[in-house]
Amino acid sequence: MTAIAARNLSKTYWYYRKEAGLAGSLRALLRAKKVSVDAVREINLEVELGEVVGFVGPNGAGKTTTLKMLSGILHPTSGSVEVMGFSPFKREKDFLKRISFVMGQRNRLFWDLPAEEYFNFCKVLYEIPDQTYEKNRRDLIELADIGDILRVPQRKLSFGQRKRCELAAALLHDPAVIFLDEPTNALDLINARKIREFIKERGKQRRHTIIFTSHIMSDIEQTCERILIIDQGGIVYDGGIRDLIRMDGYKKEIRVVFGGPWPQDQVERLGTIKEVHGQEVLFEMDPAEAPAVISQLFTTYPVKDISISDQPLEKVIESLYAKGRRGEHGTME
């Protein structure tokens, strides 16, 4: 079942450009120049019910704007979008019961209320049946590991504890589509791990569509099979993470620790040397060359340890941005 379908979805903002200083302000009053900015440009997107999708892009690329259009907070300038069969911008009551939107930099909880009381408020707001509420409440408290802080006012909790309470509250009404905008933003390692585990557990149930943004690539790698990459308002990649890493033009990395002398002038012919730390050398090369290079290293030089890996996802995505801006890469779907 298709949970989200967008066709040529676009959002344009308009503003009046003003020059600096008093003179610029006066000129702006008389003949201000109206300028447009395309925050999102003709996005085409389909997401099935049960998918967990990572949404990645640099600051200002259009991630949050896209999520706001999908959730109905913003009205698109052009194009069409359906979420669970609804037009999001109409903000119908039945639609709002099917979605949830959690923003990492905003707190939806009441500052002086403990989570327990806020959960009761959500029960009334979303008209959750008693049996469903009790089951969801019990499962979410266990999953978010918040049983010991339910009666503590939110202002007394750490940021990570509040974020876990907020995620549980956002899912009490069992939404079919969940939008998470940087849910691990500013969290410590332990709380970020708990949030990732929370997302993975919900994803395993295959009853929810989850789209979330993050600048932390470990969030994406550990929770998603599919990734959307947006840059300058347009989708530049839509596919599997493994497929992205293995795309033509991307490199393998071989890290070698030599157990004895190694002639650098000979070794550097095997591939591009990226780093050297004493006896440890990091090579970068085409994937097809890696097996032959490893064989030659073992047969020719004293190798103490060796490992081969794909490039870090951050490097692959940075390269994709650069190629797209040079016009070498179009949208891939």
Q: Mean pLDDT of residues grouped by 10 in the chain (333 residues)?
A: 93 82 74 84 92 90 93 94 94 93 78 90 93 91 88 88 88 92 80 81 81 86 88 89 73 89 87 89 87 90 89 76 56 37
Query: How many Cβ atoms sit within 10 Å of the Cβ of residue 291?
Result: 11
Q: Which two tokens stand for residue 64?
A: 């949050």
Instruction: Please state the pTM of the whole predicted model.
Output: 0.79
* pLDDT score, position 327: 53
- 20 backbone φψ class: left, alpha, beta (φ>0; ψ -120 to 50): beta
Token readout for 2 is 């298709």
Candidates 209, 231, 207, 242; CA nearest to 330 is 231
* Residues in contact with 42: Cβ distance below 8 Å, sequence separation at least 6, in sequence order: 8, 9, 10, 79, 234
Q: Which amino acid is at 271?
A: G
207: helix, coil or strand? coil
Q: pLDDT at position 92, please?
A: 94
pLDDT score recorded for residue 227: 92
For residues 151 and 116, the answer to whether their CB atoms sit within 8 Å is yes
Amino acid at 41: R
Beta strands in the chain (DSSP E): 2-17, 33-48, 52-56, 78-83, 99-103, 177-181, 209-213, 226-231, 234-240, 252-258, 272-277, 280-285, 303-310
Q: Which two three-digit tokens encode residue 60?
A: 């200002």
CA-wise closest residue to 288 among 242, 251, 244: 251
Question: How many whole angstroms separate alpha carbon 251 and alpha carbon 247?
Answer: 9
Cβ atoms of 79 and 9 within 8 Å: the answer is: yes
Q: How far lies 207's CA from each of 50, 203, 274, in Å? A: 5, 8, 44
Contact (CB, 8 A) for 57 and 229: yes
Domains of the chain are: 2-11+43-245 (3.40.50.300), 252-310 (3.30.70)
Residues near 153 by beta carbon (within 8 Å), at least 6 away in sequence: 111, 112, 113, 114
Which pLDDT score is estimated for 177? Answer: 94
- Residue 331 has phi, psi (to 5 degrees) of -75, 135
Please name the residue that has the structure tokens 């890469």: 329
Say how many CA atoms lie within 13 Å of 263 toward its Cβ: 4
